[in-house]
Structure 1
């Protein structure tokens, strides 16, 4: 693994409970903007970072793995002086959050996965692999994935905006390499049994990372795990239902305490 670095990041709040926020495959750190706009900065300090090859870190080369994301996130926590912290991860970022738990279990206070990819990978069949690999260079494949994972129910304008953002905010080599890691790599045995308080948030309209998937993974692996299903969301709850999502996340984090 290359040497961890402190990547471009956005801070919100000055609260005593530090929270690292890790974005998904189609986003960058601005994916958390709908949440951070209304987050409780008195209780929490949120740090949303770009990953190598994404956002303002598009020029930062690396291996483009979720383990590398976790190591860079730990470097950010060290930079911020956080001895302990919580971590929130969306989709691919949810798998990176589990990597972070494996890397520094004594430092992770709580973990939240928003439609998180399990540490065991995505379990793709050959057709799914073909579609997701095509998305590296084909905008139509990206649109099809976003539409599928939000239940074929959202506007064409929104779908096109998500595709355009994903093309603008990531490099093709990073996008391709992260896919092979988050979809294919299985390290769940290294985190199974962790007592960390863990919240899995699933969108009712997401057929890929559904509540049933969370029950078969997070709720089986983590003895202190909870599941919350957002009925009006698919895979992108941060865009679809930001305020209900924020309430669920902050209430869960607050239940673990706010002392530094």
Structure 2
């Protein structure tokens, strides 16, 4: 089981595939398993490094001091340990914010960056959704109810055309042995609530693309597009029929964008 002992945590991570290294940073409430639909579409071309962020998955202890900046430092320590002097980064949602902070730590080491369903803007409604979900989760029978309440926020409308999709997703989530607890969820939410960026879009000088979903209810897309437009030479694309979980709703399309963009950016080794 791949682990990295840091000063206050043991960081779990997964490595798959072969080729130029891509560090994949998961979003809120998610761990390395959140890339399950996308990763198999990329492993023939890239080496994928997928850490479990603090308070998630098999990274312990769950209640270690947590912040977006600290998780970015963890990710950089992991790439140091694995010996990748230069690498690509893909970040989803909160992972996109982590990617930007990581660039601030080591701008010369990031070859290219892809940000998925994220926004460097304050989004009070998004935090209100998370607060409501946590309250539902802590109610009686909440472990099932909060997931059912979550899915309409993260998946595109097409997901719900077949009722079996919800039941399948629910069964998989409840069976997952490394699921984030309610207390760990609250811990991570406070880290996001307290986030204050040190890196602005205009500061990003590496090759950067941003992928949005047309059906994303958690990210204010107009504000996100405006903010990311400040990145020099940024490439922005909006994928149809994709919600906040863009890497699940539109995994083949996301994989195609990543392949083309990161292949063009070159092999950092």
**TM-score of the pair, normalised by structure 2:** 0.82
Q: Which aligned runs of 4 or more in structure 1 are off by greater than 6 angstroms?
A: none
Alignment of structure 1 residues 1-260 onto 2, 5 Å: 3=7, 7-15=11-19, 17-41=20-44, 43-116=45-118, 118-124=119-125, 127-128=128-129, 130-134=131-135, 137=138, 138-139=142-143, 140-155=145-160, 156-158=166-168, 160-161=170-171, 164=174, 168-187=178-197, 190=200, 192-220=202-230, 222-260=231-269
Q: Distance in 2 between matches of 1:91 and 1:126?
A: 13
Verify the 8 A CA contact 1:123 1:183 in the aligned structure 2: no
Verify the 8 A CA contact 1:149 1:208 in the aligned structure 2: yes
1:119, CA displacement in angstroms? Answer: 3.3
What residue ranges of structure 1 are gaps of 5+ in the alignment? none
Verify the 8 A CA contact 1:197 1:224 in the aligned structure 2: yes
Q: Distance in 2 between matches of 1:190 and 1:23?
A: 20
Verify the 8 A CA contact 1:5 1:75 in the aligned structure 2: no
Verify the 8 A CA contact 1:147 1:153 in the aligned structure 2: no
Query: Could you report, residue by residue, the CA deviation over 1:110-144 in whole angstroms, capped at 9, with x for unpaired residues?
Result: 1111112x334433388546425526634434432
Count the aligned residue pairs. 255
Q: Distance in 2 between matches of 1:192 and 1:239?
A: 29
Q: Are the structure 2 counterparts of residues 168 and 108 from structure 1 closer, same or farther at C-alpha, using a change threshold of 3 Å?
A: same
What residue ranges of structure 2 are gaps of 5+ in the alignment? 1-5, 161-165
2:183 counterpart SS class: helix
Query: Could you report, residue by residue, the CA deviation over 1:92-127 in whole angstroms, capped at 9, with x for unpaired residues?
Result: 2111111211222221121111112x3344333885
Supply the RMSD in Å over aligned alpha carbons: 2.8
**TM-score of the pair, normalised by structure 1:** 0.84
1:11 counterpart SS class: strand
1:186, CA displacement in angstroms? Answer: 2.8
Q: Distance in 2 between matches of 1:70 and 1:235?
A: 21
Q: Are the structure 2 counterparts of residues 237 and 98 from structure 1 closer, same or farther at C-alpha, using a change threshold of 3 Å?
A: same
Aligned to 2:163: none
Query: Could you report, residue by residue, the CA deviation over 1:189-226 in whole angstroms, capped at 9, with x for unpaired residues?
Result: 55533212211111111122254232122223x11221
Q: Distance in 1 between matches of 2:131 and 2:250?
A: 30
Query: Could you report, residue by residue, the CA deviation over 1:118-173 in whole angstroms, capped at 9, with x for unpaired residues?
Result: 33443338854642552663443443233123345523325534753789511333
Q: Are the structure 2 counterparts of residues 259 and 71 from structure 1 closer, same or farther at C-alpha, using a change threshold of 3 Å?
A: closer
